[in-house]
Amino acid sequence: METSNGKNRIWAAQDRDAIQRMDLNMAFFSASVERLVRNRIARVLLALTLIAVSAWAFFPHVAYRIAPTAFVNAELARVTAPMAGRLSTDLPRKGDIIEHTITVNLTETLSPDRRHFLDLEQQGTVAKNRADLAKRQLAEIATLDSALEIRTSSYQSGMIERIGQEIAEAEAEKTGCLAEVHQRRDVGSRMEQLVKSGYASQIRTAEAFATQEATVTRCEMANAKIARFKTERNSAQTGVFLRDGTSDVPYSQQQRDRLVLRRQELETEMLQQTSRQTQIAAEIAGERSRLDQTGHSDLLLHADHVVWSVAASPGATVTEGQTILDLADCAHRFVVVDLPEREFEQIKAGDIAAVRLIGSDDWQQGKVRQVRGSAARTDDRLLAAQIARPTSSSIAVEVELLQDQSDAERNSFCNIGRMAEVRFQRTGFGFADRLFNALAGITFRDGRQAGLNTATAK
């Protein structure tokens, strides 16, 4: 019991000592603070610091027209199905960055209309068969014509030889007839002498002269027959035959003449079918190309675009005009800010502005693209972010971002929809702005602020 009381007394004494030391420290600190507060230099430094901080916070509102509620925006390019069909499985996905201009297959038709193509193929087959048939018929006609030519030549040579033999017979008959004429003349002269001497009657002399005249006539007929045979032979040598009816040529030659006409008809037919076949082949090639083009559609994806939204799944069936993709143009991003309407005359298209994304310390260059008043019609463009209609006392200023986006921006949908702060340089504050930045020691990455200030001063 006594030991416990002793320990309690010791602990109480230690607590009193700690309290006394704490009181001494507080008294020393209070004295130090009081001396610092009462010090003139400290009060002057504190006042200068407060003034500098106030100037630092207030100066941007003096040198710039500040719009703190802007956001990054971009125009959308909407891709719709040009025809009904099935979407390709190679379509880009949402968020994909198009780094290079490429062409991808978009849709394929489910059941292309191939009726005209099949009809052309059938016409081409028919034309080819007809041309082949005409070619075979021409070959058969050429074979038959060769046989008929041989027959005609044989007939002509035989006819010429026959006429030649008949001419020889007629000449032999003429020779005998002439000999008989000489004999009859000799007999007639003797009969005249016998009549004069009285040994023969006048009647016998007349009979002798009649027989002589008949023989002479028969010789003249032999001459005429020889001339006729020679005429027939000359005509036969030229291919014209003057006997055997009224035809001037034999049956074989007549058939050859018919084959000539038929050959001309078949050659005309083959030429027409060949030309038709060539024409149909060209039409088939054009129809095949058309089917290839209409059987599927290709999509040209331009560089520096991001797939903003996908309205249809790859491989799904779509109808004509159905929305498939929305592509955001990362190369032409812009911000839209609202400013008081009294600033309308101060901001012109082409002016340079400074843009900083919220959460970043980097400032980017921007160029005023257009300025719309509050009474202007609502922007009907297809945009990635919604633009609010200007109020009755404000104007909408569209500022295009001039610098290329970084890889981080590309991986975050090009920062579309991100809030931004936009500053417009006031007239006459270019030098003050540069002086303020120099005194404040503000530097920006890659020296972009210096170039920005130089541009805004101009």
Contact (CB, 8 A) for 243 and 232 = yes
Contact (CB, 8 A) for 172 and 189 = no
The predicted pLDDT at position 17 comes to 67
The predicted pLDDT at position 201 comes to 67
- Short-list 329, 270, 1, 321, CA closest to 139: 270
Q: Amino acid letter at 221?
A: M
The CATH classification number of 116-274 equals 1.10.287
Q: Which residues contact 204 (CB under 8 A, 6 or more apart)?
A: 191, 195
- The structural domains of the chain, with segments of one domain joined by +, span 2-53, 64-74+333-457, 82-111+296-324, 116-274
Low-confidence ranges of the chain (pLDDT < 50): 1-2, 407-408, 436, 439-458
- Short-list 302, 412, 323, 325, CA closest to 91: 325
The yes/no answer on whether domain 64-74+333-457 falls in CATH 2.40.30.170 is yes
pLDDT per position as a tens digit, 176-216: 888 877 877 777 777 777 766 766 666 766 777 777 788 88
Q: Amino acid letter at 111?
A: S
The predicted pLDDT at position 271 comes to 92
Instruction: Encode the chain in three state secondary structure.
Output: CHHHHHHHHHHHHHHHHHHHHHHHHHHHHHHHHHHHHHCHHHHHHHHHHHHHHHHHHHHHHHHEEEEEEEEEECEEEEEECCCCEEECCCCCCCCCEECCCEEEEEEECCCCCCHHHHHHHHHHHHHHHHHHHHHHHHHHHHHHHHHHHHHHHHHHHHHHHHHHHHHHHHHHHHHHHHHHHHHHHHHHHHHHHHHHHCCCCHHHHHHHHHHHHHHHHHHHHHHHHHHHHHHHHHHHHCCCCCCCCCCCCCHHHHHHHHHHHHHHHHHHHHHHHHHHHHHHHHHHHHHHHHHHHHHEEEEEECCCEEEEEECCCCCCEECCCCEEEEEEEHHHCEEEEEEEHHHCCCCCCCCEEEEEECCCCCEEEEEEEEEECCCCCCCCCCECCCCCCCCCCEEEEEEEECCCCCHHHHCCHHHCCCEEEEEEECCCCHHHHHHHHHHHCCCCHHHHHHHHHHHHHC
Report residue 423 as tokens: 């500053």
Distance CA 404, CA 368 (A): 17
CA distances from 109 to 91, 104, 304, 311, 420 (A): 16, 15, 30, 19, 45
Q: Amino acid letter at 134?
A: A
What is the edge-to-edge ordering of all strands in the sheet holding 102-108? 296-301, 102-108, 85-87, 317-318
The predicted pLDDT at position 91 comes to 83
Distance CA 215, CA 181 (A): 6
Fold adopted by 82-111+296-324: OB fold (Dihydrolipoamide Acetyltransferase, E2P) (2.40.50)
Instruction: Please name every residue paired with 383 in a beta bridge, in sequence order, or none if there are none.
Output: 75
Contact (CB, 8 A) for 296 and 308 = no
What burial letters (b/e) apply to 129-154, b meaning 16+ CB within 10 Å? ebbeebbebbeebeeebeebeebbee
Q: Which residues contact 307 (CB under 8 A, 6 or more apart)?
A: 92, 93, 94, 95, 96, 98, 325, 326, 327, 328
Q: What's the predicted TM-score (pTM) here?
A: 0.51
The predicted pLDDT at position 449 comes to 43
Contact (CB, 8 A) for 106 and 299 = yes
The predicted pLDDT at position 36 comes to 63
